[in-house]
Structure 1
Amino acid sequence: MGAIGGIWRWRHNPLRRGTDLAEAWVALSALLLICLVAPVVGSLVGGAAQGVLQRSVREQHAARHEVTATVMRKAGAASLEADPETATGREARTRVVAGWTAPDGTARRGTVLSGLESPHRGDRFGIWTDAHGRLVARPLDSATATTHAVLAGLGAALLTAGAVESGRRVIMWRMVRRRYAGWDRAWERAGPDWGRTGAGS
């Protein structure tokens, strides 16, 4: 709003310099770009990210299957890597040797991380596998994908606004430098007579 007020104030002011009006127009243009362009960019980026992520969700849910594994025995003390997509650091994860039936009907067995606090032989828990029964990470869910898309759109809008503001600052800096250079030239022209009695009269 200050930019609009600045343009109106300098419109018919006899003290107005060309640079004053130019600075006000630059500020108003930057404000309009931030208010109009940044949201559009954020919406476009968020929409594109949403499309890509939701397609990934569908592909992962089509290719990954949740099956029930049965505990055969506890595994050794060596640790397994936690699933980076689902582990929160607070989940109790116990390493066990388990058996499961793959979606293609083959019997599988291996060492996996279970969410059971104190697993016993015969306990059941869910794991994710591909069509051949190989362990895979849990598929991305739709809500998480939407959250990532919203964050991508918000980040794009903020980056656009920051780029516009940076451009405005650079333009203003160059205009101020040009104004100071003009003042320096004017002082140099007035300098030889400055302070002399009767100078310029």
Structure 2
Amino acid sequence: MRKAQRTKVRWWRWRRNPLRRHSDVVEARIILATWAAAVVGGAAVGAVVAQAVDGAVQHDRAERRPVAAVMVRGAPSATQDVATGVTYDHVTAEVRWTDTGGTVRTSETSVKAGTAAGSAVTVWTDGRGRLVSGPISSAEAATRVGLAGAGAGLVDGLLILAAGRMVRLRIERQATDQWAVEWDRMGPQGGRRTG
């Protein structure tokens, strides 16, 4: 027994064809418009989000300031996780520093294990004088901006494609209903009524 071969005709919706329906042309235009909107809209949204994230990252990096602090007590020595065997070379310890307003502050931060009391350490503060982690590197900032822009562009493009697919399904459903009406009108024998 021979297997039936399926022939795929590219761009069939755009060619003149006696079997082509109006809904086929509308569907083709919707496909074209959807893909164009997904590409252009995704790129535009991605660029806008990347620019916004870049501004936020640059503002955050500019706001962090290094401050000289002093160890209040000596930091404990390095600890080892019993379960995994990993040695932690940074521990939490109390430090004291003077903020830009002249107020002496104390807080806990991560320091190198075994640092002696009275040792000078550098800590990072935000615009309000609170301790924060150090600023991210330029490479990490670029990665965050790129991932945020690409992710937003991809999500936007997928939403546009999904909306286009919903419209196409509605058109296909209407075309199928129209076929059913025409089929009922023609009858099962191609126009000859039985009975």
Instruction: Assess same fold via TM > 0.5.
Output: yes
Q: In the aligned structure 1, how far is the partner of 2:114 from the partner of 2:183? A: 86
TM-aligned CA deviation for residue 17 of structure 1: 1.1
Deviation readout 1:94-149 (Å, 9 max, x if unpaired): 2333333444555x3634223212232333322123688x5421354462444333
TM-aligned CA deviation for residue 173 of structure 1: 0.7
**TM-score using structure 1 length:** 0.68
Q: In the aligned structure 1, how far is the partner of 2:61 from the partner of 2:26? A: 50
Deviation readout 1:28-68 (Å, 9 max, x if unpaired): 1122222333212211222233234323433x14xxx3223
Q: In the aligned structure 2, how far is the partner of 1:95 from the partner of 1:52? A: 28
Which residue does the alignment assign to 1:5? 11
Residue type at the aligned position of 1:47: Q
The answer to which of 33-42 and 167-176 deviates more is 33-42
Indicate how the Cα distance of structure 1 residues 45 and 96 shifts in structure 2: closer, same or farther if over 3 A, else same. Answer: closer
- Decide which of 29, 34, 39 is 1:35's aligned counterpart: 39
- Decide which of 161, 178, 185 is 1:182's aligned counterpart: 178
Which residue does the alignment assign to 2:95? 98
Residue type at the aligned position of 1:23: E
Pairs within 5 Å for 1:12-31:
12-31=16-35
TM-aligned CA deviation for residue 176 of structure 1: 1.3
Indicate how the Cα distance of structure 1 residues 151 and 70 shifts in structure 2: closer, same or farther if over 3 A, else same. Answer: same
Where structure 2 has 5 or more consecutive residues not aligned to the other structure, the ranges are 1-7, 77-86
Which residue does the alignment assign to 2:3? none
Q: How many aligned residue pairs are there?
A: 174
Identity of aligned residues (%): 27
Larger helix share, 1 or 2: 1
Residue type at the aligned position of 2:73: R
Q: In the aligned structure 2, how far is the partner of 1:158 from the partner of 1:131? A: 35
Q: SS in structure 1 opposite 2:132?
A: coil
Pairs within 5 Å for 1:1-201:
5-8=11-14, 11-58=15-62, 60-61=63-64, 65-74=65-74, 92-104=89-101, 108=104, 110-129=106-125, 134-138=129-133, 140-141=135-136, 143=138, 144-191=140-187, 194=188, 199=193
* RMSD, matched Cα: 3.4
Q: SS in structure 2 opposite 1:122?
A: coil
Deviation readout 1:60-95 (Å, 9 max, x if unpaired): 14xxx322323232479xxxxxxxxxxxxx964423
Structure 1 segments of 4+ aligned residues over 6 angstroms from their partners: none
Indicate how the Cα distance of structure 1 residues 156 and 199 shifts in structure 2: closer, same or farther if over 3 A, else same. Answer: same
Q: In the aligned structure 1, how far is the partner of 2:122 from the partner of 2:72? A: 14
Q: In the aligned structure 2, how far is the partner of 1:39 from the partner of 1:7? A: 28
Which residue does the alignment assign to 2:81? none
